[in-house]
Amino acid sequence: MSRLLLACVFALMSVVGIAGVAAAQEAPDAPVAAAQQTTVNPGPSVNSPQEPSPEIRQETKRKLWIGAIAVGLLALVYYRNKKRWAKWRKERAAKKG
């Protein structure tokens, strides 16, 4: 089955590759549009502050605490379910055996 899958992937890649090359070719008699002038947006400020404001730092700390609490609760639930599952399997094996 893996050979069939590999053959299908190879065929798909070949079709996509051929279609990509065909789409990339330009018609020789097609008129070329003149380049239009575009406005350039100014770049980032050179004198931007390097340290975030105290409000942003407080919000970041709050989000980190909330994330840490969520991960802790997830670990507790996972551990509890793991213990319950092991207990259930042990009781089930005792009943069958």
- Residues ≥6 apart with Cβ < 8 Å to 60: 52
- In this prediction, residue 51 carries a pLDDT of 81
Take residue 86 and report the two structure tokens written for it: 């092991």
CA distances from 27 to 17, 23, 89 (A): 19, 10, 69
Task: Answer whether 85's CB lies under 8 Å from 92's CB.
Answer: no
CA distance 1 to 7: 10
Residues (pLDDT < 70) of the chain are 1-2, 4-6, 8-10, 12, 15-35, 44-45, 48-49, 97
**Length in residues, the chain:** 97
Long-range contacts of 56-62 (CB under 8 A, 24+ apart): none
> What 8-state DSSP symbol labels residue 51?
S
Q: What is the pTM of this model?
A: 0.44
**Which pLDDT does position 17 carry in this prediction?**
66
